[in-house]
Structure 1
Amino acid sequence: MSTRRARALAATLVLAALGTAACSEEPRQDATDVVADAQARDYRDGQAEAQRVRQAQRALPSPTSGVVEIDGIDGALTAQQRLSYVRSGSATDVRTAHRGEDAAFASLCAGEVDVVDSTRTISAAELGACHAVGLDVVQLQVASDAVVVAIKNETDVGGDCLSTAQVREVYRAGSPVTAWSQVGTGYDDVPLAVAGPNRENNAFRFFGRTVLDAPDPSLINLRSDYRPFDTDQGSRLFVVGRERDEDLALQLRDRSRERDLVKSRLEEHWQVVNDAKAEVEVARAEVAKGERDQRPPAQQAADRARLVRAEQDLARKRELMLTLTDEKDGVVARYDAAAAARARVQRTRGHVGYFLFSYYELFEDQLRPFEITGTDGERSCIFPSQRTITSGEYPLSRRLLLTTTTRSMDRPEVADFLLHYLDGAGAAAVEAQLVALSHGDIEQQKDWVTGREAPDLVTADAQEAPEQAAPAPASGEPAR
């Protein structure tokens, strides 16, 4: 050890000894006392915070009796459910505004509205604002929505899982992707063509906002060769082709055999006609020769009879030739139609479109959906299903939510309106081509509203990972 280090160590020991001696002259505090003091401070702080929250809650505006205030987006179900509630004879005045989700959540936490109509959950910051004034938040789900990106069933382009970034790259304006091999590793070198609904379709707006990050999507957000269709059927036929083409394509082998057979018969009959023509020429020559040679009348009569028979036989064979030619033309036309149909069917292999999940369900025997991986970087490959869409696991889905507070749910008029909404949510979702919740999920949420069961409060822990899927609902469908 060096001299400098030795001196430093000695000085440290001396100071430690002096400090110990000084401390020994003061009363020692027991460890139990330290814990008790900390607990007392925590209690005082907790009481002060509780008092502050109570004061903040008392400062909230008092709700108007007989009025339910709703704000947020112009949701797919709320307008209809409000009208249904009014027609039920209720005296409650349900007022709706559409100032957007951010403003609506701010108003909820300020005690100014009872319900937020949204497709996103309350953020951690917004939840903190609610908790700061003593408001516990409850989230009700009334339906779900999703788009499915699909190719033709029983076809393959080399892969079955796309990330949201890959879907965006395929559809975005200026996309350079013209073959599936450009989409990602493992995809086949098959020409790619895209289609989907026009701007009037709900799927167009949902896809534009969710995939293309376009708040007000239009055709300029999509690649120039995007094929917009007025109907979902048009998009589907672009992807899967027409059933008639499928039927014709399946007939191609039989049509090919028929074509070859009739061509062979026609070639054989040409020889028969040529032989008949040769016989006519021979018979005609014999008649001429008999006249020159002055054959007996009986022989000349026989020669002329031979010529008549030969000409009649040639006429019959020519008639049959015309019949076979017409038959050949018909068979060739049918073959050409089948070949063209098969070519159209083969071209649909690289066609891709997107559809609302409710429409895809009607034609899942014709459409093959891609599994989708979200934006978190992990290859999750979620298959679109009732369960994964309702839970929010499927990345191209959104949940239709009503967010309220226990303070508002305790108001009879709010509870009555929410019960009416939940009662009609299933049928309304089906009518609006949305994904309806299971009966069990609806009934559980009704129990929250009526107080038969304590509601699941939205917590800060749940908001720390907003992109994670919610617990799977009781729909009974296995994950894929």
Structure 2
Amino acid sequence: MPTPSAARRGLAIGAGLLLAAGLLTSCSSDEGDGTDLVAQAQEVQYRTELAQQQEIERRAANLPTRPAGTVVIDGNTDSSLTRDLTSAYVADGTVTTVDVGHSGEDEAFQRLCAGEIDLVDSSRAISRSEWEACRAVGLDVVQFQVAADAVVVAIKSESDVGGDCLTTQQVQDIYRAGSPVTNWAQVGLDEVPLSVAGPDTQNKAFDFFGRTVLDAQQPSLVNLRSDYRALDSDRGSRTFVVGSARDERIAGTNADRQRVREQLRSEVAAQRQVVDDARDEVEAATAEVTKGVRDQRPAADQARDQQRLDKANAAYQAARTKLVTLKASWTRAKRAADGSAAALKRYEATRGHLSYFRFSYYELFEEQLRPFEITLPDGQRNCVFPSQRTIVSGQYPLSQQLLLTTTTRSLDRDDVSGLLEFTLSHAVQEAEDARLVPLPDAQVNQQLAVVRGEQAPTLVVPEEDKAAVESTKDAEPVDEPAQ
């Protein structure tokens, strides 16, 4: 049955239409035939609209009655917060029975507009055709947001590939199966090699990215390019983009290590000359000792020759020992320098590496990751940066809103409003626990005010009708009573 307020509204509309039609007919009776024809046409129009309104009220009266003590939710409930929140609601001691289905969004919206269920769990807004189906039976649609989610497409922070903005089509072209894109120049940026990676199929971001970017209803690896590196952790994806922390640390020492290696190389070369000179002195001293013996020099002279030889041998051995030590140090320095050069090469090679992450993970490492702003191919939502505000509002193109859609008919039921109040009151904490994007407190409180009856609900208007409504408001501002 329609609510008393809906019935009163329908009767008032009908009475107003009849009154307007009668007034137009009477006012035009004294005028010419042209005016009579206009009035008659308007009367026909008003009577048609009245008949339509009466038909809507008849259909509303035939809607199935929603049983007291039971709330039925259907939609995309397997990948949202609904099951956890309803379980917590039941555990909190409510006497309301909550029936949670999972038939998908399309069927759930059909059931809502047929009056069979109370709430639709979805990651999309109601479509125009679904909205019209609800309106055809006198159901006004109300939408509540529980949380949001998004993926961020990012390269390494402080790196540059020639731009900060990609269209959703370009992101799809980069990642899709059969993609020929191997250089950033192919999407209009710099001549930089492009390599892609991302989560494997076990990561929730994989399904979200596949549905949102690749338009795959059931995403799998076959939807992605053959050289896509599916990594088993967010950390692995981050390392692919920014390089390992170890490589970064070692690469940072490369200049010092190269300097030490070159310094030791020079010292080894200099010490080799010292060894050669010491060897020459040993040979010269040996020759003098031999000659002194042969020439039968005085004992004192032969003693001095032997002292010279002993000194030369000692110097030669010391020089050789120092050379061995320097060569060992140079070998270690060369190994370290080669390692740092390789680490630097690996670290620099990550320039142009691209991966995607859930927004909640990106926030933890935003100093390491450089996200692309995203724009729609038609120029709408130009270059939107991923933030809590743009994601919650749905402005960021690679985001989705977690919604609960109901009707004013169901919202008037205490069972439904009680569940919604509990859900919204706990949504922020549940969203954080699930690594989703929580709503700001002000938005939560505003929705709670609607659920509690402290504020009139804002009825859903199809997207294509909003611009016309807003332009009318701007052109002819009027004071209207609150709904």
TM-score, shorter chain, exceeding 0.5: yes
What aligned pairs does 1:387-426 form with structure 2 within 5 A after superposition? 387-426=389-428
**1:266-415 paired onto structure 2 within 5 Å:** 266-378=268-380, 380-415=382-417
Aligned-residue RMSD, C-alpha:
2.0
Alignment of 1:57 with 2:60, yes or no, is: yes
Q: For residue 253 of structure 2, what is the amino acid of its counterpart?
A: Q
Instruction: Tell me the amino acid that sits aligned with residue 54 of structure 1.
Output: E
Confirm or deny that 1:105 pairs with 2:140. no
Deviation of residue 40 (structure 1)? Answer: 3.7
Is 2:148 the counterpart of 1:169? no
For residue 211 of structure 2, what is the aligned residue in structure 1?
A: 209
Q: Given that residues 448 and 454 in structure 1 are in contact (C-alpha distance below 8 angstroms), is that contact kept between their aligned partners in structure 2?
A: yes
Q: CA deviation at 1:42?
A: 3.9
Q: Deviations over 1:4-41 (max 9, x none)?
A: xxxxxxxxxxxxxxxxxxxxxxx963666555544543
Change (3 A) 1:390 1:209: same
Match of 1:81 among 82, 85, 88: 85
Quick one: which amino acid aligns to residue 405 of structure 2?
Answer: T
Partner of 2:190: 188
Match status 1:139 vs 2:175: no
Q: Tell me what 2:6 maps to.
A: none
C-alpha displacement at 1:244, in angstroms?
Answer: 2.6
Sort the Cα spacing of 1:448 and 1:462 in 2 relative to 1 into closer, same or farther, 3 A.
farther
Q: Counterpart amino acid of 2:295?
A: D
Q: Contact 2:424–2:448 (CA<8 Å) still a contact in 1?
A: yes
SS in 2 for 1:178: coil
* DSSP 3-state at the match of 1:349: coil
Change (3 A) 1:327 1:372: same
Asked if structure 2 preserves the Cα contact closer than 8 Å seen for 1:75 and 1:117, the reply is no
Alpha-carbon distance in structure 2 between the residues aligned to 1:216 and 1:42 = 48
Q: Cα offset for 1:434? A: 0.7
- Which residue does 1:45 correspond to in 2? 48
Which runs of 5 or more structure 2 residues have no equivalent in the other structure?
1-29, 468-483
What CA distance in whole angstroms lies between the structure 1 residues aligned with 2:47 and 2:378? 42
Structure 1 distance, partners of 2:211, 2:35, is 59
How far apart are 1:83 and its partner, in Å?
0.7
Counterpart of 1:94 in 2: which secondary structure?
Answer: strand
Counterpart CA distance in 1 for 2:67 and 2:103 is 20
Q: Distance in 1 between matches of 2:364 and 2:239?
A: 14
Which residue identity does 1:118 align to in structure 2?
S
Q: d(CA) in 1 for partners of 2:432 and 2:103?
A: 27
Q: State the alpha-carbon separation in 2 of the partners of residues 320 and 194 from structure 1.
A: 51
Rounded Cα–Cα distance in structure 1 between residues aligned with 2:120 and 2:79: 10
User: What is the letter of the counterpart of residue 129 of structure 2?
Assistant: A
Bigger shift: residues 411-420 or 238-247: 238-247
Between 377-386 and 122-131, the greater mean CA deviation after superposition: 377-386
- Sequence identity, in percent? 55
Residue number in structure 1 paired with 2:478: none
TM-superposed CA distance for 1:376, in Å, is 2.9
Query: Superposition pairs for residues 246-261 of structure 1, below 5 Å?
Result: 246-261=248-263
> Does the 8 Å contact 1:177/1:192 carry over to 2?
yes
TM-score, structure 1 as length reference: 0.88
Map 1:425-464; keep pairs closer than 5 Å: 425-460=427-462, 462=464
1:129 aligns with 2:133: yes
- Give the count of matched residue pairs: 440
CA-CA distance at 1:272 after TM superposition: 1.0
The Cα of 1:224 is off from its aligned counterpart by 1.4
**Structure-2 change in CA distance of 1:28 and 1:356 (3 Å):** closer
Distance 1:461 1:283, change over 3 A: closer
Q: What is the CA-CA distance between 1:46 and the residue it aligns to?
A: 3.1
Which residue in 1 is equivalent to 2:17?
none
The AA in structure 1 aligned to 2:108 is A
Distance in 2 separating the partners of 1:215 and 1:301: 100
> Is the contact made by 1:195 and 1:229 (CA closer than 8 Å) also made in structure 2?
yes
Q: Distance in 1 between matches of 2:100 and 2:144?
A: 17
- TM-fit CA distance, 1:248: 2.1
Q: 1:310 to 1:69 in 2, by over 3 A?
A: same
> How big is the shift at 1:53?
1.2
Residues 117-166 of structure 1, C-alpha deviations (whole Å, 9 max, x = no match): 00111111110110010000001111111000000000000111111111
Kindly indicate whether residue 159 of structure 2 is the aligned counterpart of residue 155 of structure 1. yes
Do 2:281 and 2:312's aligned partners in 1 also have CA atoms closer than 8 Å?
yes
Q: Is the 8 A contact 2:381 2:395 kept in 1?
A: no
Query: Cα deviation per residue 1:332-356 (whole Å; 9 max; x = unaligned)?
Result: 2222122112111110101010000
Judged with a 3 Å threshold, the aligned counterparts in structure 2 of structure 1 residues 345 and 461 are, in CA distance, closer, same or farther, namely closer
User: Secondary structure of the residue that 1:294 maps to in structure 2?
Assistant: coil
Q: 1:67 to 1:463 in 2, by over 3 A?
A: farther
Q: Distance in 1 between matches of 2:461 and 2:381?
A: 28
CA distance in 2, matches of 1:439, 1:379: 25
- SS, match of residue 155 in structure 2: strand
Aligned residue for 2:7?
none
CA contact (8 A) 1:75 1:118 kept: no
Counterpart secondary structure, 1:48? helix
Query: Does residue 68 of structure 1 match 2:71?
Result: yes
- Post-superposition offset of 1:194: 0.6
The Cα offsets for residues 420-452 of structure 1, whole Å up to 9 and x where unpaired, read as: 000111011111111111111011111111111
Shifted more, 154-163 versus 258-267: the winner is 258-267
Deviation at 1:378, TM superposition (A): 4.8
Cα separation, 2, equivalents of 1:165 and 1:52: 45
Give yes or no for contact 1:124–1:464 (8 Å, CA) kept in 2.
no
- Is residue 245 of structure 1 aligned with residue 277 of structure 2? no
